[in-house]
Amino acid sequence: MVQLNNSNATIKLSTGALIPQLGLGTWRSTDEEAYNAVLHALKAGYRHIDSAAIYKNEGPVGKAIRDSGIPREDIFVTTKLWGTQHRDPKFALELSLKRLGLDYVDLYLIHWPVAFKADGFTTDEQFLSIPENPDGTRALDWNQEDPEAGWNFKKTWELVQDLPTTGLTKAVGVSNFSVNNLKALEAAGLKTPSVNQVELHPLLPQNELIKYTKEKGIVIEAYSPLGSQDSPLFTNKTLKVIADSYGVSNAQVLINWALKRGYVVLPKSVNPARVEENFKVFGLKQEDFDKVTNLVNEVGEKRLIVPNWSPFPTFE
Catalytically active residues, by annotation: 55
DSSP code, position 245: H
Question: Helical H runs in the chain?
Answer: 31-44, 58-67, 89-100, 124-127, 153-160, 179-187, 207-216, 237-246, 250-261, 272-277, 286-299
Residues at the interface with ligand A2P (CB under 6 A) = 25, 224-229, 231, 234, 249, 251, 267-271, 274, 277-278
Closest CB 233 distance from ligand A2P, rounded Å? 8
Neighbours of 167 (CB within 10 A): 9
Helix pair 31-44, 58-67: axis angle to 10 deg: 30
CB of 117 closer than 8 Å to CB of 131 = yes
CA dist., res. 23 & res. 175, Å (int): 16
What is d(CA 198, CA 315) in angstroms, rounded to the nearest whole number? 11
Cross-strand bridge partners of residue 81: 110
Nearest approach, Cβ of residue 137 and ligand A2P (Å): 27
Q: Which is nearer to ligand A2P, 196 or 256 (CB)?
A: 256
Pairwise CA distance, residues 119 & 151, whole Å: 13
Give the Å distances, CA to CA, from 307 to 49, 61, 103, 141, 310.
Answer: 23, 24, 31, 16, 9
To ligand A2P, the closest distance from the beta carbon of 17 in angstroms equals 24
Cα separation of 84 and 104, whole Å? 21
Least distance to ligand A2P, CB of residue 148, Å = 35
Cβ at position 158, least distance to ligand A2P in Å: 31
Neighbour-count burial of 14, counting CB atoms closer than 10 A to its CB (0-12 exposed, 13-18 middle, 19+ buried): middle
For ligand A2P, which is the closer residue by CB, 172 or 254?
Answer: 254
